[in-house]
Amino acid sequence: MPTWAEVQQYARNKYRLAKDEPERFAILFGMEGGRTQQIWVRTFNAHGGQPFIEYRSYFCKEGELQPIVALRKNAEMATGFIALLGDHYAVMWNVALNQMDAEEFELPLQAIAWQAEQLEKLYSAGNDEF
């Protein structure tokens, strides 16, 4: 089982971090057409103190997506889910830290970046804001 410190070090070694804080970091992914997508990764405890990793990427403002549409999109997503956080929508994915390896770290990064990018193109007037 990796520790949060080991996950952070793996990310530091493999990526150039846009933000690097004790409990979270952000990776800025280059997307098609010169666009970017920022993925936040943080640690939190759930289920009796079990450590988890949360992946999050914002894709539009609250007023740009109707809640019923977000719920329907959730039903179409093979991985991750859409959540309204404050006044922005995000694509999220949670993984138990004790089940992670390098592949388990990479798969959510790639999936969340791609999903958030597709949703951002649809619901934020095609802007590259997030």
**Structural domains in the chain, sorted by start:** 4-123 (3.30.1460.10)
pLDDT in tens, the chain (130 residues): 689 999 999 999 999 999 999 999 999 998 988 999 999 999 999 978 999 999 999 999 999 999 999 999 999 998 899 999 999 999 999 999 988 876 778 889 999 999 999 999 999 976 777 6
Does this model's pTM top 0.85? My answer is: yes
| CA-wise closest residue to 26 among 17, 14, 35, 36 | 17
